[in-house]
Amino acid sequence: MWSDRRLDKEVLNVISADVKNHKSEVVKKVSLTVLANWEMEKISKVVKWQQSIRRLGTHNTKDVSEIAYSTKKLRKQKGGGCARARNKGAVQFRGGATIFGPDGRKYDYKINKKEKVLGLKHALSLKVEKKELFILDTIDFTASTVKALLEFKKIHGIKTNSLLLVDSEKNEKILKSINNIHEANFLPVVGINVLSVVENQILIMSENALKTLQERGVI
């Protein structure tokens, strides 16, 4: 019982990472504190929780009180030579009510705040290990166009469109640049979450956003 709640001892590694400019030139080094023993189980737990929140749970069937048929009795109760029936909305008739059908439900549940932070820490450590984290001094495009984003990808040697760009605050220029690329996403650092980090292949982060995450103790 207690083994599920017990947090395993973290093994931390301090590694050096490059901070690049818009020309993909290394301008400085930063230290990242990552987990050497990251676990997919910790990531998966938070991802499942986030996905449960997205589920609407609006599936519903109509019961007897919700059927819009006439309440007139179909035939006499006795003497007809067939089964008794009340009105057209009965369950045995086409278009009638459904008995014991789904009536909508909520799928979301609660997890501890520490588990959410731990899941993000494990997800970021996974990105660092796979070398899928790019740190830039500033995320700034030449224009608010898709062409500017494609030039940005070419300069930094990124081939996939599955990108998550994270900056310290909302950036309208970035949002307009990724508007027509379905797999590219942008989040201010306050909205970064485990599901967004995991479902995008490349994570591109500004130095200011990185400092915010370091203050939160997740990297």
Query: Which residues are CB-neighbours of 121 under 8 A, at least 6 positions away?
Result: 35, 38, 217, 218, 219
**Is 130 found in the same domain as 119?**
yes
**Is 132 found in the same domain as 194?**
yes
**Is 178 found in the same domain as 133?**
yes
**97, 91 in Cβ contact below 8 A?**
yes
Tens-digit pLDDT profile for residues 54-77: 999 899 999 888 888 888 898 899
- Residue 80: pLDDT band with limits 50, 70, 90: confident
Q: Report how far residue 194's alpha carbon sits from residue 61's, in angstroms, rounded to the nearest whole number.
A: 35
- Residue 8: pLDDT band with limits 50, 70, 90: low
The total number of structural domains that make up the chain: 2
pLDDT value at 48 more than 90 = yes
What is the pLDDT averaged over residues 79-96? Answer: 88
**Is 117 found in the same domain as 72?**
no
**192, 120 in Cβ contact below 8 A?**
yes
